């Protein structure tokens, strides 16, 4: 049994890959998250988006989710300009163009809630379980099992705990896992479709 903490795109992608992999018939996977995730709706454009590369699209194809994503709403991007800091045209800026590699596009822009909805549906269709609405309260690590206690009184146990619960990870905090933080300058992106 594998417990995945975090129902974001990373946690759901890991869970979907595990349920579609070679050992899927020997695994029981449960995704847990404190917050319910937003379901995608065609009449609501979500502003948090990802610029998916071809590699990310192949991962989504692997779990059977990419055709559904394409059928709902995607926007190809052909060029991308990336810079750091305030000056978009200084010497350190990078430009990517699909024409330079002989491809029709570099990838696709996809909404966060669309990815999460499609990944969750693919995961559940393969027998995975999702539990939302209860925060992690404690984690007990044994010799062969890890038990996660939730603030609603429930608990989940598994032989592996995957920490995919974001930059303010409760798993990291509860297990007192050190982190080295370094200040980074914001990267800016613009794309032309």
State residue 193's pLDDT score: 46
Structure confidence at residue 132 (pLDDT): 93
What tokens does 173 get?
A: 């905090």
Give pLDDT, residue 181. 74
**Which residue bears the tokens 């969750």?**
120
Average pLDDT per 10 consecutive residues for the chain, totaling 193 residues: 96 95 92 91 92 93 94 94 81 88 93 96 94 94 96 95 94 91 64 48
DSSP letters, 66-133, are HHHHHHH--EEE-EEEEEESS-TTSTT-EEEEGGGGT-S-SEEEEEHHHHHHHHHHHHHHTT-EEEES
pLDDT of residue 183: 66
Using DSSP bridges, classify how beta strands 79-84 and 94-97 pair: parallel, antiparallel or unpaired: antiparallel
């Amino acid at each position: 049994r594998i417990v995945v903490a975090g129902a974001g795109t990373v946690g759901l992608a890991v869970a979907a890959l595990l349920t579609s992999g070679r050992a899927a018939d020997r695994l029981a996977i449960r995704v847990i998250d404190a917050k319910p995730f937003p379901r995608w709706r065609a009449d609501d454009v979500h502003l948090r988006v990802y610029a998916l590369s071809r590699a990310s699209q192949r991962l989504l194809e692997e779990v059977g989710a990419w055709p559904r994503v394409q059928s709902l709403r995607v926007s190809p991007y052909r060029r991308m300009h990336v810079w750091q800091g305030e000056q978009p045209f200084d010497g350190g800026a990078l430009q990517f163009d699909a024409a330079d590699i002989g491809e029709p596009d570099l990838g696709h822009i996809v909404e966060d809630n669309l990815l999460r909805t499609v990944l969750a549906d693919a995961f559940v269709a393969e027998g995975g379980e999702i539990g939302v609405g209860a925060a992690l309260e404690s984690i007990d690590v044994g010799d062969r099992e890890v038990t996660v206690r939730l603030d609603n009184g429930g608990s989940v146990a598994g032989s592996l705990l995957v920490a995919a619960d974001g930059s303010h990870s409760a798993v990291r905090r509860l297990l007192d896992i050190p982190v080295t933080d370094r200040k980074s300058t914001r990267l800016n992106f613009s794309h032309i479709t």
